[in-house]
Structure 1
């Protein structure tokens, strides 16, 4: 068994579901997904990635991706239901997103979640060389840090939470709250998207364990756990290069023509998830059409909803509701050959996304709650001409960085309508000023800067950060 000095542990392997013609593995990319975020820093960095390959009861030997070794972890059908669809996505996900959807508590799910977390921890312990760094990703694997500490006390353990961490009063609803918090605090460094999350964890550590805390560390059982915000970003250079490709520019022009050359194109690209605020957005747009503030003859909305967690009941219900509402709006306000909304429930590759980003006049990113939202950053990176408007939810982590976006409370439908009109009717000089400022921020806060900041904080020698290559 080959061992690595850097091990990444995540729920999914970053692999395309379809093998390449030559049998090689390829990166699986999705809008704003974990694989998209880590693609730039791991494809050329010696490391091992541990995760589920998406199959049932299989853990096939998989070839390397560049210098990245792939180690699959098998899940049974029962484990998929209990660990992934159950505890991770029907208990933790809604609770961590301010209970937008009511979380479900099931004792059987917890037991499966715990058992699967142990298997991931054991796989990481096996492939980590002495003194290695193991970087655990996200809420699916929140018990892994403490399990690793018991299995491999010699390694450095990092944990990064990509989603929000809830306020203490919500987290305290969890029946297994102490085990979950202690699992996370098994890490040497716990990273979050925003400082408030670190503050929430510190409050809970005091309440549940009587720990001593400061702004950036928690002392628990005689050991110091460092906590800090590391806002994640994107591969800015990759998106800029994609957006500049002649075929992508040509595709954007064709998309604009296919849409009927409207005066204004509004675009949203989301996973199909109840946290993304799609229904609130549709309500606001429908009312603008109803009130005559927007006309189908000169404005069109394009809503991309990438399929997500289709086996979970609440997601199937959400899809049906959204499709029904899109049909109602198009039936009421559309014209022959001119729908009010183009709705696409499908995945797009990176080049297609770059073309879509250039097609839009207004990018509408209005989640009810989001750890970061990398789609907003991808849109900004794709706008080389410094044109276009970004309407961004105050409750997305990206709002703390992209302050020149048109910020909005998506729960306030009237406020959302007003903000959409402001963005559509904004002076071009104002839009250029806003976009220039946001692009300048991204230029120095890309995915490589994020990874270097985190790994430098985890390993003060600088060895890990120095090993990152583009």
Structure 2
């Protein structure tokens, strides 16, 4: 059996549940093959030191964790600058927030070359390499230039925008050319695959060699959708653990006279949180029976707070929540409970289970696993209703949710009202179908399907 080598911006110990579902899923395959997980250590060191040092190796059971340090200059240009200052906003359809003029691309290419140099010293001839996310798009091209012939697959966890938006990125041809160094390129949704196909056919004169196979720049690659899932059974066990049960009991006791709506997000402009709060205000305005009754609990975990766009959205959100509470609140009822901090993951299932409505309404998202976690956390005999943005990758699978356009604030408010008034029989029927689907296409299915397709693509 070939050894699996996982490469990502950050490395996680797959034995630790706090590392998240992705780490656990990859951990199974890594353990089976005595695999290697390679990435940045999270440490920033003095300039020049990282180039001369060997990767730091650590054992995690049968898995080897290999990490490299970055200098401040490399970190700021590769991670903050190009990855999150250019690719993140463009890939989430926010050209207005992209910093095209700062020259970060040189640092992005330099760090990917550094990763390739360090990784090459650790590879075995029959390894299978799986590279993750937008930070490392050019990694395979750098590896190929150094003589790497192993199978290499790439999975993009965020959306891929339409060709016109991709073409706004300076040197976009180089970026997409780099994807053809992979044997397999995986996306979250069929829409993303369509965007890739249109770009490579129109901009790179790619040949379409049968289903999902494209030839351009002298190489052939396979591009398919692999919608990522969650570990449903693991999340259900988390739902019945002590911390989740305590949270559920507390919520039901404190809000025994209320209908709870829950939103759980990072405070990111892609998540559409201000639009969601405005929709809740519309709900209270046009459906007054929800006043002194419905309560929105919005968790917005801090992220990238040094970036102006994130500071702006925090200020906007705090102003909106304060205005709604001032206009509609009572002495014994606060319409919006806004929490700007990270809530322990072990408590999230209890919050989801206590909520009558789950609000997952991003303006654009690759998948959004909170939607699937909300489904898994529900009581199947009395489930809540998922209100889901049609612009989340999850919407392609979760058709029984109430799909909304988050830009249509009034339409979203009407969907929330429909969710609050939905009869039990319909809620149960929708939940059964949604639960069956996330079980069938869970994170383990995602991993197996990608690796099986990579094995065939390599042939």
Q: Please give the TM-score of this superposition, normalised by the length of structure 1.
A: 0.89
Aligned to 2:445: 449
Contact 2:22 2:443 in 1 (8 A): no
- In 2, the alpha carbon distance for the partners of 1:306 and 1:225 equals 37
- In 2, the alpha carbon distance for the partners of 1:392 and 1:418 equals 13
Aligned to 1:340: 335
Aligned to 2:68: 73
**Structure 2 counterpart of 1:8, from 6, 9, 17:** 6
1:122-271 counterparts in 2 under 5 A? Answer: 122-214=117-209, 215-245=211-241, 247-258=243-254, 260-271=255-266
Cα deviation 1:416-436 (Å, max 9, x = unaligned): 011010011101110000001
1:26-425 counterparts in 2 under 5 A? Answer: 26=16, 28-29=18-19, 34-35=22-23, 38=26, 42=30, 46-57=34-45, 61=56, 63-99=58-94, 101-214=96-209, 215-245=211-241, 247-258=243-254, 260-293=255-288, 295-386=290-381, 387-425=383-421
Greater CA deviation, 122-131 or 353-362? Answer: 122-131
Contact 1:281 1:366 in 2 (8 A): yes
- In 1, the alpha carbon distance for the partners of 2:431 and 2:287 equals 29
Cα deviation 1:186-224 (Å, max 9, x = unaligned): 100000111222232233223333221244011124432
How far off its partner does 1:446 sit? 0.7
Contact 1:61 1:71 in 2 (8 A): yes
- In 2, the alpha carbon distance for the partners of 1:63 and 1:315 equals 35
How far off its partner does 1:119 sit? 1.5
- In 1, the alpha carbon distance for the partners of 2:411 and 2:338 equals 24
- In 2, the alpha carbon distance for the partners of 1:36 and 1:305 equals 25
Structure 1, unpaired ranges of 5+: 17-24, 463-470
Gap change, CA 1:219 and 1:369, over 3 Å in 2: same
Contact 1:100 1:275 in 2 (8 A): no
Greater CA deviation, 240-249 or 171-180? Answer: 240-249
Question: How many equivalent pairs are there?
Answer: 449
Cα deviation 1:137-186 (Å, max 9, x = unaligned): 11111111211122243211100011111111111111111110011221
Contact 2:222 2:457 in 1 (8 A): no
- In 1, the alpha carbon distance for the partners of 2:286 and 2:146 equals 63
How far off its partner does 1:56 sit? 1.5
- In 1, the alpha carbon distance for the partners of 2:285 and 2:227 equals 39
Q: Please give the TM-score of this superposition, normalised by the length of structure 2.
A: 0.91
Helix, strand or coil: the match of 1:256?
A: helix
- In 2, the alpha carbon distance for the partners of 1:450 and 1:29 equals 18
How far off its partner does 1:399 sit? 0.7
How far off its partner does 1:233 sit? 0.5
Greater CA deviation, 59-68 or 137-146? Answer: 59-68
Cα deviation 1:356-385 (Å, max 9, x = unaligned): 111111000000111111110111112242
Contact 1:144 1:184 in 2 (8 A): no
How far off its partner does 1:37 sit? 6.2
Structure 2, unpaired ranges of 5+: none
Gap change, CA 1:153 and 1:81, over 3 Å in 2: closer
How far off its partner does 1:52 sit? 2.0
How far off its partner does 1:314 sit? 1.1
How far off its partner does 1:310 sit? 2.0
How far off its partner does 1:40 sit? 6.0
Cα deviation 1:366-410 (Å, max 9, x = unaligned): 001111111101111122425110000101111111110011111
CA-atom RMSD, angstroms? Answer: 2.5
- In 2, the alpha carbon distance for the partners of 1:358 and 1:36 equals 23
Contact 1:9 1:120 in 2 (8 A): no
Contact 2:58 2:66 in 1 (8 A): no
Helix, strand or coil: the match of 1:74?
A: strand
Gap change, CA 1:416 and 1:41, over 3 Å in 2: farther
Helix, strand or coil: the match of 2:436?
A: helix
How far off its partner does 1:339 sit? 1.6
